[in-house]
Amino acid sequence: MASQSPKKHQARKRFGQNFLHDQGIIRHIVACIRPKSEQSIVEIGPGLGAITEHLLVAAGHLDVVELDRDLLPHLRISFASYGDNLRIHEADALQFDFSKLSEDNLNPNKQLLRIVGNLPYNISTPLIFHLLSYTDLISDMHFMLQKEVVLRLAAGAGTNNYGRLSIMAQYFCRVDNLFEVPPEAFDPRPKVDSAIVRMAPYIELPHTAHDFKHFEQLVKSGFAQRRKTLRNNLKGIADDEQLQSLGIDPSIRPERLTVGEFVAISNLLTQTPS
């Protein structure tokens, strides 16, 4: 998350840059994050540092991941007084190995990571899927996202926004839609509304898939055509008898199934024959 862009830096459309400048919103975000001393906090896309300073003051040290190399000098100059306590990683967050940050000298107690970011709308969904592969290393994540994406992440079964993203996020995390952020809080103004979401990985999964890759593919197949029934979407994968043995009606649409029910189907299909 970043402060208002000065004239010398032109927000880059290819990086999906929209710089947050509303101080009230910034304070609200920081209050939701509640950064504390010595926590291992990672900020994705710090931009010009609107949130960065608050995180540094509270935690004492910070890792940031920034792709736009033109922003790096600004960050280094603005936070020079923090020395090595601010580590800037020039990298694409989609390709970044977050496990390195839980293993190195700046995290001697191997604390779980706290991830914060104003995520570019054009990469938010694949980046969230990337981060879900590190949930065993993460305490929580607070993201500024397109409102539509937050609604999908937090949606409950049976609602219009519920789908593959909802299930995969909620398999790993408790998801809370915290509050909305209007376009005028940014420079330049985005054409969509934004929202803040908190994702907190479970210490113990409420439902565990025996074969996660199978579960992942099952969910993808289940939502291949939202308007079709489970029977049609899972044709050749699960038959009526198998679904009915779990108390699931094959004629319903996929958005009616809970995370636990998708896990149950996957586990039934992958169980080892006796």
The pLDDT score that the predictor gives to residue 125 is: 94
**Which percentage of the chain shows pLDDT scores above 90?**
74
What separation in angstroms does the CA of 39 have from each of 33, 183, 243?
Answer: 12, 31, 45
Distance (Å, rounded) from C-alpha 105 to C-alpha 93? 21
The pLDDT score that the predictor gives to residue 107 is: 56
Which ranges of the chain have pLDDT less than 70? 1-19, 103-110, 272-274
Total-model pTM? 0.88
The domains of the chain, with CATH numbers, are: 13-201 (3.40.50.150), 212-270 (1.10.8.100)
Question: What's the gap between Cα 170 and its chain centre?
Answer: 11
